[in-house]
Every structure is written in structure tokens, then in C-alpha cells.
Amino acid sequence: MTGAFKICADHAFSRTICEDRHILRSANEDEGHRPDLTILNAPHQNGCPLLLDISIVQAFKGSHNPTLPLPRHPPDYYYPTLFQNPHQRTSAVAYSSKINKYQDVCTANGVSFLSIIIEFNGYIHPQARQFLQDLAKQAAFYHHIPWRNLYLFYLSLISVSLQSALYRSLLTYTTPLRLCRLDVLSTVLNDHTVLTV
């Protein structure tokens, strides 16, 4: 996901640094936090570097608590309720969590911070959407292309990146299961051949 946001920022003529390890160490040399992406000339920042932390979260409530099982199907009232109350979405909870984690450190170092939260179903937190629109407006100034077209282009880049990340995640979690099944199958086949011989 960081790559998609880097492409969007670079397209808007913003200078970027991936995982800058030193930007948060001016106030405390032992600081271990590092942002996913640093944008040195982001829109509306007046020359202050903007740090981005990019996260993909589940769309279901309780997904942060591994002891609670996820519902097989969301209840009928789930999505209409979220559209009426966006503050109840998991992206809003994750956004608040990231702000609480990074804001004090960023303020102490004199930089701005924005948490980019995207739910796995494609919902983008409103602050992240506003940032993408600002990038599109900055790029429109330089490229002389309507900003809405650039915004849709940025959304398509992020959509492809999200689908790729979800695919890699599925492969990561299912590969051990497939290998385990192959081991069990080969053990069963070996035992069967021993018995038949």
C-alpha cells in the first residue's frame, strides 16, 4: 500500500521518503517509531514534513480482539448502521489508535502526522480521502488535468494495491494449511502403500 501512496505523492510533485528512520529522532535519539512514508512538501503543510502511517483493517467490529469470532455473514443492520454512523467503523477506531500512538512524538519533533486507514472492503477513512483529494488538486495544478480525474486515478491505484495486498495475505495464511494437508496426505499415502505391500 505504501507504494501506491508514494506513486500518488510523486505524481503530485511531492518529494517522498519511505520508512525514514531518523525524522522522529530529533527530540529523542532512542525513538523507535518510523513512518511508512514521509512527504516533504505535502499540500497544506506549509513546508512541514507530513508523516503517513498506512494500515489495512478488517471491516467487522471486534476484529481487534482475536478471542471474538468474526461473523460468517454481517447482520442485515450492519452496513446501513455504519453509513449512518461512520464513527463506529473499525477504520475510525484504528485512526484514533494511530493518532494516540504517534501524535505526541510527531508534535515533539515538529512534523505533521496523518494515519491512512483503509478497510479491507475498500472503505477509505475520510481523512485519507481528503488527503488524496488534496494531492489530486496539487497534481492538477502541475499537469493541467481536472483534479477529479486524478483523484479517480489515485483511487484506482489504491484499489489495485489493496487487492494485491489482500491476495498476498491470503497466500501467506493459506500456504501453511496447504503444506500441512500435503504432509498429511503423503503420510496417509505412505502408510497405505506400506499396508498394501
pLDDT at 72: 60
- Choose among 25, 28, 51, 26: nearest CA to 38: 51
For 172-185, b/e burial (b = at least 16 CB within 10 A) is: eeeeeeeeeeeeee
Phi, psi (5° rounding) for residue 111? -125, 160
pLDDT digits (tens, 9 = 90+) for 79-115: 545 555 666 677 888 898 899 988 888 888 889 999 9
Share of the chain above pLDDT 70, in %: 71
Residue 108 is predicted with a pLDDT of: 85
What is the percent of the chain where pLDDT is above 90? 21
- Name the residue ranges covered by the structural domains of the chain: 2-196
The whole-model pTM stands at 0.74
What's the pLDDT score for residue 148? 95
Average pLDDT, the chain: 78
Contact 50, 112 (CB under 8 A): yes
Q: What mean pLDDT do residues 134-152 have?
A: 93
How confident is the model over 158-185, as a mean pLDDT?
76
Give the pLDDT of residue 27.
Answer: 61
Give the model's pLDDT for residue 3: 85
The residue to which cell 535519539 is assigned: 29
Q: What pLDDT is attached to residue 168?
A: 85
The answer to whether 101 and 51 are in contact (CB under 8 A) is no
C-alpha to C-alpha distance for 126 and 61, rounded to whole angstroms: 18
